Amino acid sequence: MRPPETPSSAAVPTRATAFLRTFVPWQLFRFAAINLKMIRMILLSHRGPGRDGPGR
pTM: 0.59
Q: What is the pLDDT of residue 7?
A: 67
Indicate whether 8 belongs to any domain: no
Give the range of the structural domain holding residue 27, as residue numbers without chain letter: 22-46
- Residue 9 belongs to some domain of the structure: no
- With respect to residue 35, please indicate whether it lies within any of the assigned structural domains: yes
Task: Say if 37 falls within a structural domain.
Answer: yes
Half-sphere exposure of 49 (CA within 13 A, CB side): 0
pLDDT band of residue 48 (cuts 50, 70, 90) is low
Give the count of domains, the chain: 1
Spatial separation of the C-alpha atoms in residues 26 and 48, rounded to whole Å: 36
The per-residue pLDDT for 24 is 97
Question: pLDDT tens-digit profile of 1-42?
Answer: 776 666 677 889 999 999 999 999 999 999 999 999 999 999
CB atoms within 10 A of CB 4: 8
Residue 52 lies in a domain: no
* Domain assignment of residue 12, yes or no: no
Domain-located, residue 54: no
Q: Is residue 28 part of a domain?
A: yes
